[in-house]
Amino acid sequence: MDISLENKDALNAVVKVDIAKEDYSEKVDGVLNNYRKTANIPGFRKGMVPKGMIKKQYGQAVLVDEVNRLLQDSLNNYIAEQKLDILGNPLPVQQDNFDWNAENYSFEFELGLAPEFELSLDNKEPITHYIVTADEEMIDNQVKMIQKQYGKIVSQNEVKEGYTIEGVFHNEEEGIEHNTSFNIDEVDGKTNAKQILGAKTGEQVTVKTNKLFKDDETLASKLGIDAEKAEDLKVELTLTINEINENIPAELNQELFDKYFGEGEITSEKEMREKIAKDSEQTFAQQGDQQLLNDITEHLIGSVDFELPSEFLVKWLQTQGEQKMTEEEAREEFENSKKGLKYQLIEGKIIKANDLEVSQEDLKSMAIDRIKAQMAQFGQANLPDDQLEDIAMRVLSNQDEARKMAEQAMSQKLLDFYKEKMNLKEEKVTYKEFIDKVYK
């Protein structure tokens, strides 16, 4: 067997594999002999079928299988031995006059080569790392939400600010007859709110769809109609009020603290607010870190300029998946994924150059931390270490789960590496400021 490489340019190459009869004949004969021992053919005892008959019946198929197996193994070994950094998979070059009846065969494969490039992490302009803090307004809202969640509902007879109404919206011409529930504070227009405020249980009031709720989606939901119909709907509605309820917030006392945070965990409103702030900022820290990783990714992609073997990758994409892509679809897919592919190459270079790796211990530790967090939500915060480890190993025995966790662990290692090596500046912001800066 002979394997050779011809570089077409810096990003494309062709591998030629020449296979001679002596490379495969022994394997083919061995398979055919096994077929002979087990073949059941009428008129012949088992194991006594003439070899020529077996060869005539199965020879071509066995030859093709063994040559393809030898070809694939040899190609993979050659790529590994030569340390060829390829993108996608080798693509066989079509041969119109290929003859399986010949004794010697020649195959060619196109390769897309990963580009070589230099990468620097020395960014002169600092990248912002947002440290998101919990402001008093956010904490106030969270406290009110907890009080409402554990409060009590008291039936009332007259609609007042903050009350919840259960009733039926009706308009015969538009075919609207829908049971609904809404808080009076959700009503958007002053005129509509004025009509409903002061109304009593069992009464009917007339309102207009215009400015009834803040948006068309909410209007559609409350009236039980399609969002498209709600867009241009300008009619009067009859609201029959069946029930009026007041949500009385729970008092900030030890009973509420124990219900929400666990018995004895919190003993005062001050501790409650501190706990809310701490938990919120831990969640915000994850969002801040993710944004930092996104910004660093964009910076790194923009800091290097290299080409990809685009024509090869378009052809390769056409071979992927159960439904084959057209050339036009493959080009669109390539353009959409080009930035992600570039970052994969950058990321791979950083990982290799700095010996970053995820160990089994890293995965086990990550799995245990997640299990602890999940168990704490159900009030089981003190599972024994041996139980935690047993559950973690069962989680990691799922290959898909282990792969996802390994990717997440490597992202965290990369983020820690970037924080240490790159020029960053911290900026403290409230959550609202963070959303405004990042998403607007």
Q: Give tens-digit pLDDT for 425-434.
A: 999 999 999 9
Question: Which two tokens mark 351?
Answer: 């990982």
Question: Which two tokens mark 383?
Answer: 């599972």
Q: Give the 3-state secondary structure of residue 272.
A: helix
| Other residues' Cβ atoms within 10 Å of the Cβ of residue 345 | 19
Better pLDDT: 45 or 336: 336
Q: What was the pLDDT predicted at 424?
A: 96
Across the range 327-333, mean pLDDT stands at: 93
Q: What average pLDDT does the chain have?
A: 91
Backbone φ and ψ for 3, nearest 5 degrees, come out as -125, 130
Residue among 152, 248, 160, 246 nearest 200 (CA): 160
Q: Sorting pLDDT into bands at 50, 70 and 90, what band is 37?
A: confident
Query: How far apart are alpha carbons 389 and 386 in whole angstroms?
Result: 5
Q: What was the pLDDT predicted at 380?
A: 66
What distance lies between CA 163 and its chain's CA centroid? Answer: 40
Question: pLDDT at residue 38 above 80?
Answer: no
The boundaries of every CATH 3.10.50.30 domain in the chain are: 152-248
| Other residues' Cβ atoms within 10 Å of the Cβ of residue 363 | 20
Query: How far apart are alpha carbons 288 and 304 in whole angstroms?
Result: 25
C-alpha separations of 26 from 20, 30, 40 in Å: 12, 6, 24
Q: What was the pLDDT predicted at 323?
A: 82
Across the range 371-376, mean pLDDT stands at: 80
Q: Give tens-digit pLDDT for 168-188.
A: 999 999 999 999 999 999 999
Angle between helix axes 269-303 and 399-421 (nearest 10 degrees) is: 80
Q: Give tens-digit pLDDT for 383-415.
A: 788 888 899 999 999 999 999 999 999 999 999
Question: Which two tokens mark 335?
Answer: 């353009």
Q: Sorting pLDDT into bands at 50, 70 and 90, what band is 381?
A: low
Q: Give tens-digit pLDDT for 252-264.
A: 999 999 988 888 9
Question: Residues near 436 by Cβ (< 8 Å), separated by ≥ 6?
Answer: none
Q: What was the pLDDT predicted at 219?
A: 95
What distance lies between CA 424 and its chain's CA centroid? Answer: 27
Question: Which two tokens mark 178?
Answer: 């829908």
Across the range 153-178, mean pLDDT stands at: 95
What distance lies between CA 56 and its chain's CA centroid? Answer: 52
CATH code for the structural domain at 152-248: 3.10.50.30
Pair 288, 434: CB distance under 8 Å: yes
The boundaries of every CATH 3.30.70.1050 domain in the chain are: 2-113
Residue among 435, 438, 428 nearest 133 (CA): 428
Query: How far apart are alpha carbons 10 and 86 in whole angstroms?
Result: 12
Residue among 398, 284, 285, 303 nearest 350 (CA): 303
Question: pLDDT at residue 40 above 90?
Answer: no
pTM (predicted TM-score): 0.73
Across the range 49-69, mean pLDDT stands at: 85
Q: What was the pLDDT predicted at 132?
A: 95
Q: Give tens-digit pLDDT for 294-307.
A: 999 999 999 999 99
Check whether domain 2-113 has CATH 3.30.70.1050, yes or no: yes
Q: Give tens-digit pLDDT for 73-95.
A: 999 999 999 999 999 999 999 98
Question: pLDDT at residue 35 above 90?
Answer: no
Q: Sorting pLDDT into bands at 50, 70 and 90, what band is 349?
A: very high
Q: What was the pLDDT predicted at 378?
A: 67
Q: What was the pLDDT predicted at 417?
A: 96
Question: pLDDT at residue 232 above 90?
Answer: no
Percent of the chain with pLDDT over 70: 98
Q: Sorting pLDDT into bands at 50, 70 and 90, what band is 379?
A: low
Across the range 59-63, mean pLDDT stands at: 88
Percent of the chain with pLDDT over 90: 77
Question: Residues near 333 by Cβ (< 8 Å), separated by ≥ 6?
Answer: 317, 325
Q: Sorting pLDDT into bands at 50, 70 and 90, what band is 224?
A: very high
Q: Is the dihedral of CA 24, 28, 29, 30 positive or negative?
A: positive
